[in-house]
Amino acid sequence: LATLQQGGSAVTAPEAVAAAAPETVATAAPAGGGEAAAPSGECKEVKIMATATTFEPKILFINPCDTVYFNNMLTHDAQAFDELVPEGVEPFFVKLNQNGKVTLTVEGVYVYKCNPHYPLGMAGAIVVGKPVNMAQVEAKVTGRAKGIVIKLKKELEQKKA
């Protein structure tokens, strides 16, 4: 395995996965060595599937320490927006044409996109624990990512009801 240090995140490129593209591994942790949220319960593995021009699910709720697997990434990548992740966290990036996994340990909202298909609205959101940075995300979101943030806000309001 080769490890490349990108800001505060380690990105590891392991050998090819059987019957799949190579895999990118990233950990979204505090860039300045801050505190990650304590996991509530057991850490889980969850999947996001890339389809023609969308991620499924578009919005994912997980606990700190859960690992998100991005699958079916041929012709896709997944890049978190710099300004649409919790403060002090290095945004994650799953390389084009590679399945990948990201372990998120800091609570908050992470909005991401597929660069090749972003003009068609291919974006998603992951909420880790509590959406502690939702106001920041709403204030800074631009472009096609606004649609996913509006959907996320509606979903969060429904969860409160």
pLDDT of residue 161: 77
pLDDT of residue 25: 56
Per-residue model confidence as pLDDT tens digits over 73-110: 999 999 999 999 999 999 999 999 999 999 999 999 99
CA distance 76 to 93: 11
Mean pLDDT of the chain: 83
Nearest to 10 by CA among 74, 122, 105, 96: 105
pTM for the whole structure: 0.79
Per-residue model confidence as pLDDT tens digits over 16-46: 233 334 456 555 555 444 445 555 578 999 9
pLDDT of residue 160: 86
Nearest to 79 by CA among 51, 105, 98, 57: 98
Per-residue model confidence as pLDDT tens digits over 103-123: 999 999 999 999 999 999 999
Say if residue 3's pLDDT is above 70: no
CA distance 154 to 45: 25
